[in-house]
Each structure stands twice: as structure tokens, then as C-alpha cells.
Structure 1
Amino acid sequence: MSAAAGTPRPSGSAGRARAWAELLRLPALFTVPGDALAGAAATAAAPNSRTLLAIGSSLCLYEAGMALNDWADRAEDAAERPHRPLPSGRVHPAAAFTTACLLTGAGLALAARAGRPALAVAAPLAATVWAYDLALKHTPAGPVAMATARGLDLLLGAAATTGLPGRALGPAALLGTHTLAVTAVSRRETTGGAPLAPLAALAATGVLTRLVTGRPSRPPAGRREAATRGLPGTTSAPDGVVSRPRAAFDFTPAHPPAEAIATALRPTLAAAYLATAARPYLHATLNPSPPLTQRAVAGGIRATIPLQAALTARSGAGLTALLVAALAPLGRRFARTVSVT
């Protein structure tokens, strides 16, 4: 819950800003950039300007989904969560719906700027977001749709960076599995009483932790060269081999210092993911009350960042993994004032 009922709220412009921050779940935004960065790392390429466009597209589509979610649930929220921005009257429903439309358009436009492969992923991602909020959320297909959206978001980073989203299917599947587990738990966020979902999420977290500590098979040399050819800071030698300027550190996954950092980080990041998600899942399993279920959902959302960082390190991009991991404390800081659920 974003705030207790009856808690005094700021008035005027500060109150409107707070209402929109709650509607858009702003602290949850810190869980988004890691998708594109993990997708880029899975292709053995360094992040580039197109990766930044993919991140911008992801942020817009994510926030579009948040606004559309509350617009679609406004009648339900009026009964169960009257403190939320729409039922409390702090944000008009028409404004929320218009915002969702504008953000969706902006997300698709940014993906188009990143290239046709990125747009080819962003279009079904946007369609999945809208289908989930308007039709699938309260059906058995809801958690699968949410998992699909998160997986597509990771593929968007790969498609924008290199035009080769297929190379990121493995990390996308792992991230989607985590999202599936969190979404399944969230379906009882207001009612509680279902220990099976958090127990299944706890088991999934253990399996994912084991998988992300391993190292995927390295792409053949030709694939690594193709992934980095034409990227900023790379040149092609006469014999066709990609060469890079000598530097102590490089964000490209195949660069030895980045690989060494990634190898050292993988166990730590996997442990951080396990610690963030497992404890609240266990508490919700033992006592599936609404407050503990809500904490389990929040813990699962926060755990997305260390999982993204672990997946990035698993692909050999140590410095990018550090960048992703640094988003976690920022998200926790902002979550103290605005709830992520």
C-alpha cells in the first residue's frame, strides 16, 4: 500500500506531484534499465546510443502500463484501496488514460529511432502491456502475460543494441520466470490466504539463483565480432578482426577486465537476489496475510535489480553489472516515500 488511509497528504502542486508519483510507482522505474542492459550484455556487445533509446522506450512503456493499470482497476480500487490516486480523486481517470496513451506512443517512437529490430520487439511489448491491463490481469493468463512483457523488455535491449534479440532468449526466460512468480503472488495482495503462490515463488527463486551463478556458453568468435562491429570505440582490422583501443577497462563483455569483474560478481549478485526475494516469500508462506503478501510482492520487485545485474554478469559484462546493481539502493531510497506496489 502506498499510504495508510487517513494519512495527511500534501496539498497544491506538491500534492499533485505526490499523486502522480504514486500512480506511476516511480521507485519501480529503477527496475527497468537493467532489462535493456542485460539484453545488450547477452549479445556480447557494449551498450551504445541505441541501448539508451531502448531504455527510454522501456521506461515509457512501463509507466504507460502503470497508469493504465490504475485506470482499469479504478472501480476495484475504490472498494479495496480507496487511498490510491484515482479513487481518492487526486488524479482524474481521463488524465491517467491519456497519460497511458501518450507514454505508449513515446515508447514506440523511441524504439523506432533505435531501428526496425527494436520496434519489432517494442510493438508486441506494448500490445502485451495493454492486453494485460485491460483483459488478462484477472485471468489465469495474467502472470504469463506479465512475464512475457518483462522478457520482451530484455529482448528490446538486445534488438536495439545489435539487432539480434535471439541471443538474449536465455536471460529473457530467466527474468520472465522471476516475473511470473512475483505476479502470481501479487494476485492475493489484498486478500492473502494463499501460501502456495509464495512457496512456489520461493522455490523458483532458489532455482534461478542456481542458474544465474553459472556461466552461459560463450558465443563463437565470429558472433562476438559481429556483435561489436560498428559500435563506438571499435575498428575493423584489414583481416576482418575487430580491434579496440587499448584501455584498462571496457564495457564490452568480451574484454578481459570486464570478464574478471563479472566472474567475481556473479556469486555476490546471485546471493543478493536470493536474500532480497527469499525472506519475504518465506514469511508470506508461513503467514499469508495481506501485509506479508504485500511485502513479498515488494521484495520480489526489488529483487529484479540484483537478478538483472546477475544476468548481466553471467554474460561477462562486469562493469555493466555494477552499473545495474547500483540502481538497487536508489530504488530502496525512493521506495521509503512512494510504494512500488
Structure 2
Amino acid sequence: MRLKPYFQLVRLPNVFTAAADSLSGWLLVGGLLVDAGSWLPLVVASMAIYAAGIALNDVFDLELDRAERPGRPLPAGKVSGAFAVGMAVALLVLGLASAGVAGARSAMVAGALIACVVSYDAGVRRTVFGPELMGLCRGLNVLLGMSLAPDFGGPAAWAVAAAMTVFIVGVTWISRFETEVGRRAAPAAGMILQVTGMIALFGAGLSAGAFPSPWPDRPAFPVLGVVILAVVSSRILWASARAVSDPRPETLQKAVKTGVLSLIWLHVGVVACVREPTSALAVAALWIPASLAARWIYST
């Protein structure tokens, strides 16, 4: 059995960005890498629910993809619709069960995330609220990683989840017309929202003392974290600016791919601002499988 169509169905490169959400959330609220029994179930839940949501997205988009993206696994007949639905349901169950292993509150967050994912795929994505709901899914994914901390880590941690929400709303606005030419309004709005989210991440990174269990050896100005955030933000803005100035499928899809895969490095930057370097390195390690998979599997 060829595995590539199944990896394409779930956008395998992007699944690692979901892992970065929950792992980063766990680390930001004071969680430790050595406590794998706590964070690993959250990471598994994030990845499973994300993969299920992407598969369901293609199930609901089957007729549209037959016209606009005939090479995708479902319209091309490489994966059956029944298998895609069954796999998505199994992944959702796995995600909820894995979160339940971590605790009741984690299961509640996972349940809310699943409700948002299914609602988005089932029709909300075609409305004006689609990008906002997609962003909320990402924010809940970050909160899932924070769910074991008292009050989800407090306002500083909430700010990171909110920033990621706004950033992904922006990415989703850019993606709305990624198969069309000449539409500038949506990518322009998306770029503004991306900038807003990234500015909020800079603010969170520079307010490390407000996070739970502040790292005592943190420098007054976290140079490494700020540099990472600046470099990644520049790369994102370059891709988005090209999509705004020359809106066509190639530039729009490039901007979306850059925005999604750069999520890992945005998390790395924030964690590097707030926690010790080894924590940031653990999140950065997720870039390796994500980037390797992105070389042979599309991510938009």
C-alpha cells in the first residue's frame, strides 16, 4: 500500500505544527520536558484531532476538489471516501481518549476543539466566520497544552493562545482564495491579522516574568527569542506581501505554507524568550519532520 496519498490526506507536515502548539503551551506554563507522562498525551491528542480535521475537510470538499484540485487523494480515487471518514472518526476518538489520559480538564478542552473542528469542516468554513473558527481551533490547541496548569497558566499564557488564534485567522483569510487570481482584499486582511498576532507574541515574549514559575536565569532581554521571532516574522511578511502584491495560486499557496509551517518557529521564539534554551530546542526539533515531509507532501 502506498502511504503518500494517506499522508497527503492529513497534510502530514502540518500535523507537526499541531504538536508544537500543545508542547509549547505545556512548556510556557512551567511544564517540564522530563514529565513526558503529562505532555505526551496532550501532544498525541493535538496531532490526532488536527489530522482528523484535515481529512474531514477533504471529505466535505470532495466535489469542489474534483473541479479545482483533481489530483488530491479523494478526487483522484487514491483514497476512498469511506476510509477517510472512518480514519477521521478513529482519530477524533483517539484524540479525546488521549486528552482524557492527561485529565478531565484536558478532555474538556479536547472536546471543545473537536466540536470546533467538526463545525468548521461541516459548513462554517464557507461563511464569514470560517477563518475565525479556524483560528479558534489553533488557540484551543495551544490551551490544550496549558490545560494541566492552574487557570491555564494565567493571562500571560492566554495571550499566547490568543495571539496564535489571530495569526491563524490571518493565514486562513489568505487561503480562502488560493486557487483564484487577482483578489487582494482577503490576503491584505490576512496579512494585517498576521502582523497583529506576531506583535502580540513579541509582547508575550518580553513579559516572561508574568508566566508561571519564571525561569530564574532568564536574561533581562531575551536576545535569542527575540531574534528568532524577528527572523520568522520577516519571512512570513515577505511571503504574505508577495501574495498581496501578486495574488495568484502560486504566491497565495506559498504564503499559506509559509505561515503554517512557521508556526513551529513562532512557538520556538516565544519559548526561547520565556524558558531555558533546552525547552525551545525541543519545540524546534519538530521542524525536522515537518520540513522533511513538506518536501514531498503539500501542506495547503
Where in structure 2 are the equivalents of 1:155-304 lying within 5 Å? Answer: 155-160=143-148, 162-165=149-152, 167=154, 168-214=157-203, 215-216=206-207, 218-219=209-210, 224=213, 254-256=215-217, 259-260=218-219, 263-304=222-263
Q: Which has the larger radius of gyration?
A: 1
Residue deviations 1:279-316, cap 9 Å, x none? 11111111101221111111111121111112222333
Q: Give the secondary-structure state (helix, strand or coil) at the position aligned to 2:126.
A: coil
In the aligned structure 2, how far is the partner of 1:61 from the partner of 1:99? 11
**1-structure distance, mates of 2:32, 2:50:** 24
Kindly provide the amino acid, as one letter, of the partner of residue 100 in structure 1. Answer: A
Q: How does 1:44-193 map to 2 (within 5 A)?
A: 44-47=30-33, 48=35, 49-160=37-148, 162-165=149-152, 167=154, 168-193=157-182
Instruction: Judge conservation of contact 1:117–1:163 (CA < 8 Å) in 2.
Output: no
Q: Write the distance in 2 (CA, Å) between the matches of 1:301 and 1:330.
A: 14
Judged with a 3 Å threshold, the aligned counterparts in structure 2 of structure 1 residues 281 and 92 are, in CA distance, closer, same or farther, namely same
**TM-score, normalising length: structure 2:** 0.91
1:302-332 superposed Cα distances (whole Å, 9 cap, x missing partner): 1211111122223334321222123224322
Deviates more, 1:29-38 or 1:209-218: 209-218
Deviation at 1:212, TM superposition (A): 2.8
Counterpart residue number, 2:16 = 30
Shift of 1:36: 1.2
- Give 5+ residue unaligned stretches, structure 1: 1-12, 225-252
Q: Is this contact kept in 1: 2:172–2:190, CA < 8 A?
A: no
Runs ≥4 residues deviating over 6 A: none
Counterpart residue identity of residue 315, structure 1? V
| Alpha-carbon displacement from aligned partner over 1:242-297 (angstroms, at most 9, x marks no partner) | xxxxxxxxxxx5252xx349923212211232133111111111110122111111
The answer to whether the 8 A contact 1:284-1:293 is kept is yes
Rounded to whole Å, the distance in 2 between the matches of 1:54 and 1:218 is 25
Number of aligned residues: 294
Is the Cα–Cα contact under 8 Å of residues 163 and 198 in structure 2 kept in the other structure?
Answer: no
Q: RMSD across aligned C-alpha pairs, in angstroms? A: 2.0
1:164 aligned partner, one-letter code: D
Measure the CA separation in 1 of the matches of 2:229 and 2:40: 25
Determine the C-alpha separation between the residues in 1 that align with 2:241 and 2:150: 40
Three-state SS of the structure 2 residue aligned to 1:218 is helix
Q: Which residue type is aligned with residue 26 of structure 2?
A: A
SS at match of 2:209: coil
SS across alignment from 1:96: helix
| C-alpha distance in 2 between matches for 1:130 and 1:262 | 42
Q: Give the AA of the match of 2:59.
A: W
Q: Are the equivalent residues in 2 in contact too, given 1:65–1:129 (CA < 8 A)?
A: yes
